[in-house]
Amino acid sequence: MVGLSAQAATPATKTPPPAPLFKATLDKARKSVAPYLKQRPDVPVPKDAGGGYTHERHKDNYRVIREAGMLYAFTGERRYADLVRDVLFAYADLYPGLKPHPIEAAPQKGKLFWQSLNDAVWLVEAIQGYAEVRSVLTPADRQRIEANVFRPMCAFSMVDSAKTFERIHNHATWAVAGVGMTGYVINEPAYVKAALYGLKGDGKTGFLRQIDELFSPDGYYTEGPYYQRYALQPFEVFAGSIERYDPAKKIFDYRDGMLVKAVYALIDLSYEGKFFPLNDAIVDKGIDSPELIQALAIVYARNKDPQLLSVSTAQGTVAFTREGALVAADIAAGKSKPFNYKSQLFRDGAKGDEGGVAVIRSGKGNRAQALVFKATAQGMGHGHFDRLSYIFYDAKREAVADYGAARYLNVEAKKGGRYLAENETWAKQSIAHNTLVVDETSQFNADVDAAQPVPTTFLTFATKDGVQFASARLDKAYGEVTIWRAVMVVERPELGRPVVIDLVRARGQSAHRYDLPLHYKGVFLDASTKFKASTTGLAPLGTKNGYQHLWKKAEAAVPEGGQRLSWFNRDRFYSLNYDAPGVSKAFLTELGANDPDDNLRPERAVILRADNARDFNSVSVLEAYGDYDPAQESVRDILPSVTGVRLHQDGANDLIILTLKTGQTLAIGVTWDGEDQNSVTLDGKTRTWRGAFGVTG
């Protein structure tokens, strides 16, 4: 187990040289810890926010404690055990006299850090290092450390921060993990019981209830992959210590192996090494995050799945644990196999009945694509108001993007590294995402308490006739308006390459303004109707709900029958054909209005608008094509396969007709009422299909 295995506190005997990846990890830890062997521990009185000196110093100190403990375990060199002792002695002198942190920025203050979450992280990390050296310390040394550091920190979590400790939330996962792991190491059963079953001991809170409620049956974490990454470490390392000290619990089998499923789900919720930036996500976070590196090693040590070794190779390093050493050894032995990234649906909600995320993959190699359809529940406080939105990846990068969070993590000059005001005024708002917006407001009026109880209804996830299809319905987000959306990736011989079809319908009882944004990466090229650019001055598109941050750069009238537009991103071209009856205007926008502190990235979007409309209907075809080589000054394959699209509706049925550059047509039928046998007659021809969708000629 990580820092708490059967070998804990027993220095490694002479062993063969470590595998290359682990040797690199070991050498890095030696180099990292070396300066601290020559100086007195620096344990300052806390005063700074994230990114500030005292904040970063205390983070470094828990890293030193853990790494020095592991260095002792792997080398047997007493100086590393002494370093762990000395740093913890310094905390034993500091911690008992600390008051709550002076920064007024968190609902639950910490002592070492500005929020109690970071104190819990400190405890999880430090107890792992202490576990490795505890047995070689004198009883007096152990008493000094435990009485003045670990026991008071556990009391702070369970008493002063009881509200956080009892939550069903990733902050609570760190809290219960730190307390529970400490309980095992210092032999305090009351801590373990509180961590597992909650402070009342009734199982309504605590670690097991968190496993029950925070993950869906498919291993999807309700706050999204960014926070799944963050929560995985305490889930997995605490599970490791449970398995070591109480193997009868079979914690890795609990809830159908949920803590194993969760690791695979997180890997699957990525593209080219980066997590899908759903909800409050930092867009650059990916599979090389330390939390997943450690969690992967823990799971691999149990199931020996060679697919995980290829992920570890892509991570470029291994965990500094015994499990990490095993991963490195098996990679060196040539046991890796490629990870099987495939299309799949990750249901949301503890019972899997609160919507989900559909991941549709297509293509291979440098042209591998992924379409991510978000039709989840709200995702609690970190959730965005973006249901029925999608992201599209092509050629190893985002083509249709999600902004993620407005935050510069641990950059003190940007609000101490915390979430910026623009996270509320822009990033969470519906217009910031690729989803239908009604009356220039956000879903549920951007009220998380109103949104949290309302699930999204996932309708269909299936593949047939060369079409990968996902659909869902959203009720109550905009009062009486109901919204349906289907996305599909079509790979058929007549097309020559995959295309994405997006079908949106909304039904209301009164007139509304509907806006459908598409946030694209790249440079606008052209459109079938001319946009009138704002060349002498820019104005925001609106005044609130995110609209105040969008510069209106150009506007076009949309003719009956839709429009085509295209853009260019590095070496790829993108074409968007759409037919949206009732849409009368299109806008080109750029993010950055009403942003005096320059906190927002200058992202681009095209927005379709239907005014004074009871209902909304739209179909679009997105196609990636071409290959631009600036070195060779060449462009290849520059014509899209699809030249037009038409939408015909008949009650609950939609018929989509694609016109191809060959002159052929391709028709796909979609039904929304659940009927098995469906048909639409158009231009004297009856087209039939079975089920939710089908190719009809």
Q: What are 513-551's pLDDT values in tens digits?
A: 999 999 999 999 999 999 999 999 999 999 999 999 999
Mean pLDDT, residues 579-600: 97
Could you give the 3-state DSSP secondary structure of residue 634?
strand
The pLDDT of residue 4 is 46
Residues 289-308: tens digit of each pLDDT: 999 999 999 999 999 999 99
The structural domains of the chain, with segments of one domain joined by +, span 20-332, 344-695
Residues 118-132: tens digit of each pLDDT: 999 999 999 999 999
Beta-sheet pairing, 397-400 with 642-650: unpaired
Any alpha helices (H) in 95-199, and if so which ranges?
Answer: 116-133, 139-145, 151-155, 162-165, 170-186, 189-197
Rg (CA), the chain: 27
Q: Residue 5: which pLDDT band, with cuts at 50, 70 and 90?
A: very low
Q: Residue 630: which pLDDT band, with cuts at 50, 70 and 90?
A: confident
Residues 550-559: tens digit of each pLDDT: 999 999 999 9
Task: Give the separation between CA 268 and CA 265, rounded to whole angstroms.
Answer: 5
The pLDDT of residue 145 is 99
The pLDDT of residue 631 is 87
Task: Give the separation between CA 546 and CA 219, rounded to whole angstroms.
Answer: 32
Mean pLDDT, residues 232-254: 97
Which tokens go with 621? 């075809």
Q: What is the CATH number of domain 344-695?
A: 2.70.98.70
Could you give the 3-state DSSP secondary structure of residue 621?
strand
Type of residue at 59: K
Is the distance from CB of 497 to CB of 369 less than 8 angstroms? no
Distance of CA 485 to the CA centre of its chain: 22
Residues 338-357: tens digit of each pLDDT: 999 999 999 999 999 999 99
Mean pLDDT, residues 215-238: 97
Q: Does domain 20-332 have CATH number 3.40.50.1100?
A: no
Is the distance from CB of 414 to CB of 423 less than 8 angstroms? no
Q: How far apart are the first and last CA of the chain?
A: 57
Q: Count how many Cα atoms sit within 13 Å of the Cα of residue 136 in the half-sphere of its side chain.
A: 22
Poorest-pLDDT segment among 100-109, 247-256, 480-489, 540-549: 100-109
Mean pLDDT, residues 489-502: 97
72, 227, 230, 578: which one is catalytic? 227
pLDDT at residue 691 above 60?
yes
Specify which of 11-25, 103-117, 309-323, 403-417 reaches the highest per-range mean pLDDT: 309-323
CB neighbours of residue 635 within 10 Å = 13
- Is 227 part of the annotated catalytic residue set? yes
Mean pLDDT, residues 312-316: 98
Residues 407-436: tens digit of each pLDDT: 999 898 999 889 999 999 999 999 999 999
The pLDDT of residue 633 is 81
Residues 143-188: tens digit of each pLDDT: 999 999 999 999 999 999 999 999 999 999 999 999 999 999 999 9
Query: What percent of the chain shows pLDDT beyond 90?
Result: 92
Task: Give the separation between CA 267 and CA 263, rounded to whole angstroms.
Answer: 6
The pLDDT of residue 15 is 59
- pTM for this model (two decimals): 0.95
The pLDDT of residue 104 is 81
The pLDDT of residue 281 is 98
- Is 382 part of the annotated catalytic residue set? yes
pLDDT at residue 91 above 50?
yes
pLDDT at residue 250 above 80?
yes
Selection from 37, 70, 61, 73 nearest residue 123 by Cα: 61
Could you give the 3-state DSSP secondary structure of residue 602?
coil
The pLDDT of residue 623 is 98
The pLDDT of residue 533 is 96
Type of residue at 461: F
Query: Contacts by 329-332 with C-beta closer than 8 Å and gap 24+?
Result: 329/18, 329/19, 329/22, 330/300, 330/304, 330/306, 331/19, 331/21, 332/19, 332/20, 332/21
101, 169, 382, 519: which one is catalytic? 382
The pLDDT of residue 369 is 98
Chain-wide mean pLDDT for the chain? 96
